[in-house]
Each structure stands twice: as structure tokens, then as C-alpha cells.
Amino acid sequence: MPTPKTTRKKTAYQRNGIFATIVLAVMVMILVSGYVFRTNRFMYERCFEELSESTEQAQEKIETNFRNDRVSLRMLSKVIAEQESLYNLNVKSFLTIYDVNSLISNVAVLTPDNVALLVNGRQIDTTGMIDYDEEITHGEHISGLQPALDNPDSKVIRSYVPIRKSGKNIGLLYAEMSPSNIARAWKPTIYDGKATFSIIDRTNGDIIVNNWNESIENIFLSESSELEVAIMNGKAGFQEIKSNIAQDTIYISYMPMELEKWEILVAVTKDTVFELAESMYLLQRPLLIGEAILFLIYFLWIMHSTRHSIIETEHHANVDVLTGLQNRNRYEALCCQLKTEGLACIYVDANGLHEINNSKGHLAGDQMLRFIADTLKVSFGETETFRIGGDEFVVFQHGKTKEELEKTLENVHEDIQKNDYHISAGLCMGNESETVRDVIKTAEVRMYEAKKKYYESIGKEVRNHISSHEEATT
């Protein structure tokens, strides 16, 4: 039975083991959380840098392309202005030599009477689609989305340059560009081409080139008022918005264009940004699982080590080192729990230990004590056999008769005497009217009576001996 001191040690071992395990678990969690946070932060900063750089590149390339086209249109407009009439056949020939490329889908002349002279020779009335008077007021400019002449449901962008003769405007030369062609030509290559780009007209919020989300035609109808304000004011920046339409968080970089009142916008979803991080997490999952297994092994080792330490400590606290019997700590703890009904107590004292120590040395005395202890252990069992003092032993027995115990005790005397050692023993049978201490005391008194007889039989006096039990209880 563990003593209070042993219990405290056991609790301390358990508490220290649990504390060490919790500290380790917290440290692992902090390290993992720190790694995840740092990785996410790195991916976010990388996204900002790549989107900003891609936005700048797209702005520069698109504006350079528009400027080059405008230079070509200016040159062509001067050639056309030298002709007698816009309807001159040479005008058609000049239009055919214009560099129609992947961006420019068509080139034509718009007359003051709203007639478009196409490169294929066709003449189309633009009433309700293009208004010459409106467009000429803007001079050189790039329009917003306008109806395509051959398919009014389709939208195109037109770059206009006035045709001037003798200081007067006689027509408009324009090149048509399809928004979808622009979107394909300038699609960002970052994030494996999963990023999108758009061009917004700051004056009305229309998304002129929409490679972002075709369900949104006007940025003023988007889900971020902060983004709307920034675009209207021609600001450059970076935002993170939650899109219910895309069902994802979107990172957006935006920048004003110098050529027109346009804003260029490059966007990418959060899932795309952290796709690499997710791949890294997947690759590291076996490592994390391995760490978890190692942690579990460590935890089990801690528990085993703690349990072993508790058992070892309990053993040292409750077992007599010399004899291997249970010591006084265990004896005191057991006395608090025993009941006297059916209980018998045998109090044993080694005779002549002092004389052997003085004459033969303490090693001989220790050998005597070990022999007596082993004899008691064999005869009565080791469960309730105790060495409670230097030469004193106590044995508890349950459910045995007085005759049985006297016979066993007689055999013990004979075995010990065969080795030229002697003991004195007192036996007391307990009953319900007595306490355990009373039973032990009676057995001790009887042991001293036997001891007195032993010393009288060999012609010596009993040494002045105070009971260890009396010392403990006084």
C-alpha cells in the first residue's frame, strides 16, 4: 500500500511527465503553425509582387501597341487626305495595305454622313452604331465598347484618327480591335496562365476587356466598393476581395493607363495562389505523419519511463534494502486499513544481534537478519511480512487458527536454530473488541516475555530495549 510520501512522489512523476508532454506538443504546434503562417505570408507577398509586375508589363505592352497603331493610322490618314474624295478607289487600296494583325480585325474610314467605307469595298450606314459628329469631337482617341457593323450584338474597340485636309476634318480613320483578341494576346503568364486581366473604362465603369469574369460587365456592379473608388480615381494598388460570384477570394492588382481613362486590372484567385503551398503541404504530410508517430512513440516512452520510475521509487520507498521484506513505511500504511476480525499478529525479534555485531562484525549480523527474513518469508509469505526496525519483524496472518500459527512458528524456530540463530516471537489473535494497535502491542509484549525466558535460559539479562512500536506511538 503506497504511503502518503510515495503517493506524492508518484503524483509528482505523473505531473512532470504530463507537463513535459504538453510542453512538447505545444512546441510542435507552434513550429507547425509558424511554418504554415510563414509559408502563407510568403505566398501572399509573392502574389503581390507578381501581380504588380504583371500589371506593369501588360500596361506598358498594351499602350505601346496602341501607340504604334496610332502612328500607323496617322500616316495612313495623311495619305488618304491627299485624295480628291474619301470615296476614291485609291482609298480602298490604301486601306488594304494597312497591317491587319492578331489585334486589328478591320480598318475603315468613317465619313461625315455616317457611312463606313470598309477595306473590302463595302459601304455601311453606321446610324445608330457610330456617330461621326460625336467621335470627331474627341479627336485622336480610343473608344469604349461599340457595336460591330456586321454584327451589332458583338462589341469592338475602335482607335480613331481624324483625316484632315486644308485644316479641316473630312473624315475619321479607325482600326477595330476585338476585346477577346486583346484578352488572348495579353493574357498574363503568371500562375501557369491562370491569372486574368481586364481593362476598365474609368468614366463609366464598363469592363472593356473582360478576361476576369464575363458575368460582370461593369466594375461598379462588383462586390468591392473600395475597388470601385480606387478605379474611379485612377489609383494603383492591390486588394483582396471576397467574391460570392466566383465563390473564392480574389487578389487584384490595378493600375491606371496613360493612353485613355482606362484602368488595367490583373487578378488571380486565392486557391490558385496557394496551390503551390497546398502541394507543399501534401508533400510534407508524410513528414508530419512521421513526426506525429515519433511524438506518439515519445509519449508512450515517457509514460513507460514514468511508470517504471514510479514502480522503482515505490519499491525503494516500501522495501527494506537489506532483507527484501516490506519496510516500516508499508507497515504503517497497512496498519491503518487492517481489521482485527480474523487477524493474527506475530511479533518477532532476533536474539543476540548485538553480540554478533560486536564479536563477528556487522556483515555477520546482516547475514543473520537476511536468513531470519527469508525463513519468515517462506513460512508466512512476503505479502504481509515486515521488517519494522533493526532486529524486529512483524507478520500478519488472516483466517488461520491459533494452533496452525503456533505449529508454523515452531517450525520457524527449528529452521532458524539449525543455523545457530535464535528468535523470540509473540503471537496474538485479534477480535472485534480490539484495535489493530492493541493486537500488535499484545504480540509485542508476548515477544518480550519469550525473549526474557530465552536470555534467562542462557544465563544472561535482557538488554534494555524500548519497543520500536512504542517509539512510534509516543
Rounded distance, CA 185 to CA 449, Å? 117
Range from 222-231, 350-359, 442-451 carrying the lowest mean pLDDT: 222-231
**Looking at residue 246, what is its pLDDT?**
57
On whether the CB atoms of residues 263 and 252 are closer than 8 A, the answer is no
The mean pLDDT of 260-274, rounded to a whole number, is 86
**Looking at residue 128, what is its pLDDT?**
92
Rounded distance, CA 131 to CA 115, Å? 10
DSSP code of 326?
Answer: B
Range from 4-18, 229-243, 310-324 carrying the lowest mean pLDDT: 4-18
**CA torsion angle 71 73 75 80 (round to 10):** -170
Name the grid cell of 290.
Answer: 512521421
On whether the CB atoms of residues 409 and 427 are closer than 8 A, the answer is yes
Condensed to tens digits (0 to 9), the pLDDT of residues 343-387 reads 999 999 999 998 999 999 999 999 999 999 999 999 999 889 999
Bridge partners for 267 per DSSP? 196, 252
Per-residue pLDDT at 48 exceeds 80: yes
Q: Could you give the C-alpha distances from 303 to 11, 26, 294, 306, 311, in angstroms and in order? A: 13, 18, 14, 5, 12
Confidence at 190, pLDDT banded by 50, 70, 90: confident
Rounded distance, CA 176 to CA 181, Å? 11
The mean pLDDT of 104-120, rounded to a whole number, is 92
Crossing angle for the helix pair 275-318 and 4-81, to the nearest 10 degrees: 170
By C-alpha distance, which of 353, 337, 457, 461 is closest to 396? 337
Domains of the chain: 82-180 (3.30.450.20), 328-473 (3.30.70.270)
- C-beta neighbour count of 83 within 10 angstroms: 16
DSSP 409-474: HHHHHHHHHHTT-EEEEEEEE--TTS-HHHHHHHHHHHHHHHHHHHHHHTT-PPP----HHHHHH-
The alpha-helical segments, DSSP class H, found in 319-361 are: 328-335, 353-360
- C-beta neighbour count of 75 within 10 angstroms: 12
Bridge partners for 160 per DSSP? 141, 174
By C-alpha distance, which of 103, 106, 105, 104 is closest to 95? 106
Range from 2-6, 235-239, 445-449 carrying the lowest mean pLDDT: 2-6
- C-beta neighbour count of 79 within 10 angstroms: 14
Above pLDDT 90, what percent of the chain? 42
Name the grid cell of 281.
Answer: 503541404
Per-residue pLDDT at 11 exceeds 70: no
By C-alpha distance, which of 194, 340, 330, 344 is closest to 270? 194
**Looking at residue 280, what is its pLDDT?**
66
Confidence at 168, pLDDT banded by 50, 70, 90: very high
Rounded distance, CA 146 to CA 271, Å? 35
